[in-house]
A = this chain, B = another copy of it.
Amino acid sequence: MGDAIYSQLAKKIPCRIYAPIGSFHELLPYLIRRLLENGANNSFVHKIAGKDFDIDEILKNSLDFGTQNPPPLPENIYHKWKNSSGFDLGNLWELDRIKNKLRDFADGYWRAFSLIDGEEKIGIKPQITNEPANINRNIGDSSTANENHIAEAVAAAEKGFREWSVTPVEKRAACLEKLADLLEENKFELIPLCMREAGKTLADSIAEVREAADYCRYYAHQARRILVSPQILPGPAGEHNELRLMPRGIFLCISPWNFPLAIFLGQITAAIAAGNSVIAKPAEQTPLISHFTVRLMQKAGIPENVVQLLLGSGEEIGAALVTNPKISGVVFTGSTETARVINSALAAKNGPIVPLIAETGGQNAMIIDSSALLEQTADDIVKSAFGSSGQRCSSLRVAYIQEEIADELMELLRGILADFKVKNTMEFDADCGPVIDVAAQKMLFSYVKEMRKKAKIIFDGEKISTEKNGWFVAPYIFEIGSICELQREIFGPILHVVRFKSKDLDKIIDDINSTDFGLTLGIQTRIETRAEYIASRVNAGNCYVNRTQIGAVVGVQPFGGEKLSGTGFKAGGPNYLLRFLTERTYTANTAAIGGDVNLLG
């Protein structure tokens, strides 16, 4: 059907004829896609069938349109805040450039201390940090805080709060934006630090730095939006009413090792954008990144008493901080069990009810119906379940696959995994690195052993060879009967798959909801109403259709779950700062001091 138009096109612009090649099986969907495309109202094939068409209009070079109407540059796509800068990892020259840059820190050694009012504190026990990917390799050391440090940190943070809370919003926002710039300027040290201390891949480490910078700029934008001016409320003549948002005091920020830079900074930047001071207790697995980052904050102009860093374990340092009466709020990202312990400790303490902003685990499902594009689905499953060694709270744990396509999709998954590389991520072609520590590795191996007895193995991680000098765990896929068989979240590269019949869709939605978690949900379907139907019924904080279910972007996919998975509001969302603030009204009887001048207008 293209002959007529081709004869005209070929005269005016360079043309290419192409012939799709595929098996009989793929023919029908291909033809339908072409029919839909060519039958669309705005298709040129449709237009030339009409009586009045302008051949020049149809033959317009679309490149000219793009040149005349250039899309925004990557840094400007969010309009209201600057997007962080990334790399084109598909570009081999770019990759080579990164490799060279990272070489500067190949023998890096980092030291970490608790930081109180900017001062380095020597703690009780020195702790050596070895690479999880190479346990013989020592990359730094740190010392944990002692009891005295807690009181000192609280005193410094109290002073910090008094000063920072009355610092103009614009100045606080500018400090955060400066911090974002410093993160980007220091990315070639931060990236290898993430790769080596946390065992992250290059792509994941770049994403860490980007997310951290995005948080800085996004919360600076949000602070300006809601804090610069009070909200004027209506009222009768002669009365002036304002709603003011005020910082709360000292926030305790307890962050996890799986996003040692992004979540660590996300919590802190939200708290300080709102005008609070902070005591940060990062995960004991990743002290080096946190120390480095707090130093950057100080370089960015954030006064030293605004953010105190206390290194140590949750049991010792974290627990003592939670019950401290001077703490006005707690932000926690980590396990559901720890969130519960913190919540109980907060409820047991005297004094005001302290807000707890908790972001915890999930038992995340993906529902794949028979209309899904299988190649894309297989790729999204592998990235969602095995990316970052499955060590994201958003990671896919249970893929529900409609029975008609189940065998074929599993075959594709096996195909991708056959070539999956689990190794030291300093080799850039690693698909994933190690898990965080020996405890995690042991737990996962023991789970695999247990599941070998209970479930059908779809992919056996033993097929992938891994080094023995790191905490590596290869991906596994087990087939089970229902998400309800799982007792808890398994934080690692273990995927469960379940076959389902189309008629049982409501049943599996109920099963997913019955876990009482509600973090992420993946949907793969080419039927939009089906996606909407599932999304509206599954209780999950973040729902992703026809893509991976990981990698939420600040301001784009505000992140956070419901029920057992979190308290809200969503990090990186428009309402998050509100939880770090308290509301005050200010009402003045303007008539009492000589009348309401506004009436003259």
Contacts and interface: CB of A to CB of B under 8 A. Distances in A.
Nearest to A237: B71
A114 B213 CA distance: 55
A528 interface: yes
Interface in A415-474: none
A40 to B, nearest CB: 9
A241 B557 contact: yes
A592 B368 CA distance: 14
Most buried by B among A42, A339, A535: A535
A540 B584 contact: yes
Contact of A593 (B79, B339, B526, B574): B526
B241 A516 contact: no
B585 A542 contact: yes
A56 B110 CA distance: 81
Contacts of A556: 233-235, 239, 241, 587
Contact of A567 (B78, B355, B516): B355
A256 to B, nearest CB: 17
A344 interface: yes
A187 interface: no
Nearest to A350: B340
Nearest to A595: B37
A36 interface: yes
Contacts of A564: 351-352
A343 B600 CA distance: 50
Interface in A271-292: none
A512 to B, nearest CB: 14
A578 B579 CA distance: 11
A543 interface: yes
A395 B593 CA distance: 24
Interface stretch (A170-178, A191-199, A383-391, A545-553): A545-553
Contacts of A340: 353
A510 to B, nearest CB: 12
A573 interface: yes
B569 A583 contact: yes
Contacts of A346: 347
Contacts of A568: 582-583
Interface in A509-538: 516, 526, 528, 531, 535
A351 B516 contact: yes
Interface in A566-596: 567-570, 573-575, 578, 582-589, 592-594
Interface string A247-272: 01000000000000000000000000
A562 interface: yes
A526 B535 CA distance: 57
Contacts of A495: none
Interface of A: 33, 36-37, 42, 71, 77-79, 231, 233-237, 239, 241, 243, 248, 339-340, 343-344, 346-348, 351-353, 355-356, 358, 373, 376, 516, 526, 528, 531, 535, 540-547, 552-553, 555-560, 562-564, 567-570, 573-575, 578, 582-589, 592-594, 600
Given A233-B556, A526-B593, 15 more contacts: A231-B574, A234-B556, A243-B570, A373-B592, A528-B593, A531-B588, A535-B586, A541-B582, A542-B584, A544-B589, A546-B588, A547-B592, A552-B585, A568-B582, A573-B583
18 contacts: A233-B557, A234-B556, A235-B553, A235-B557, A239-B547, A351-B563, A351-B564, A373-B592, A535-B586, A541-B583, A545-B587, A545-B588, A547-B587, A558-B583, A558-B585, A560-B583, A570-B583, A573-B583
